[in-house]
């Protein structure tokens, strides 16, 4: 669809997801929204890994900073999350619970260290009335992208 209005929505802690989100924005020349927690995560990586260990079962929904976006303007949400303990990052869970994306197309992408777990499944559960398509798993080792650049480019070109 030529005139589909697209919005990139993402959360990032160590900037991998941000890098991909920015690439998408640059390619599509679309709007972008970063979801941020009200209470920032600890700057120490291992502390965050430890404190969020129960993410899959606790399903925390930390408060997020207020969003000044009219979602009715957009037909498609390109949704980026790092994988945190086998599923979506908690602030993305908050975002999906607080905003009704029914009827929209959602294209999810996840950056992770190779264990994607239930990430896309949880997005589907939280957005039962959205059309979830064309999901992309992008693997990083630290800040080095392991998924071939070409594969990521092809996916971005398909958006
Ligand atoms: C709290 C926490 C939990 C994580 N859990 C997983 C996991 O379950 N599977 C995985 O492959 N990577 C896991 N990672 C690694 C991140 O998903 C990966 O580094 C991601 O690209 C980080 O994205 P970001 O730089 O946008 O924050 C975890 C990282 C953190 C901080």
Q: All domains of the chain, ordered by start, with CATH?
A: 6-157 (3.40.50.360)
Q: Whose CA is nearest to atom 1 of ligand 1?
A: 49
Spatial separation of the C-alpha atoms in residues 21 and 37, rounded to whole Å: 18
Closest CA to 52 of 15, 86, 96: 86
Q: What is the mean pLDDT of the chain?
A: 97
Distance 3 CA to ligand 1 centre (A): 34
Distance 124 CA to ligand 1 centre (A): 20
Confidence of residue 70 (pLDDT cuts 50, 70, 90): very high
pLDDT in tens, 84-134: 999 999 999 999 999 999 999 999 999 999 999 999 999 999 999 999 999
Count how many residues are written for the chain. 159
Spatial separation of the C-alpha atoms in residues 159 and 154, rounded to whole Å: 9
- pTM for the full predicted model: 0.97
The one-character DSSP state at 37 is B
């Amino acid at each position: 669809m030529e005139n589909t209005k697209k919005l990139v929505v993402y959360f990032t802690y160590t900037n991998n997801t941000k890098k991909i989100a920015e690439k998408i924005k640059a390619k599509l020349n679309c709007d972008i929204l970063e979801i941020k927690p009200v209470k920032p995560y600890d700057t120490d990586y291992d502390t965050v890994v430890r404190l969020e260990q129960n993410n899959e079962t606790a399903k925390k929904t930390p408060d997020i900073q207020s969003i000044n976006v009219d979602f009715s303007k957009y037909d498609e949400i390109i949704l980026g999350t790092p994988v945190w303990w086998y599923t979506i990052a908690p602030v993305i869970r908050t975002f999906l619970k607080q905003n009704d994306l029914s009827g929209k197309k959602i294209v999810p992408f996840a950056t992770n260290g190779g264990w994607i777990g239930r990430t896309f499944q949880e997005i589907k559960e939280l957005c039962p009335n959205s059309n979830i398509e064309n999901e992309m798993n992008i693997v990083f080792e630290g800040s080095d992208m392991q998924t071939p650049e070409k594969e990521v480019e092809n996916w971005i070109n398909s958006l």
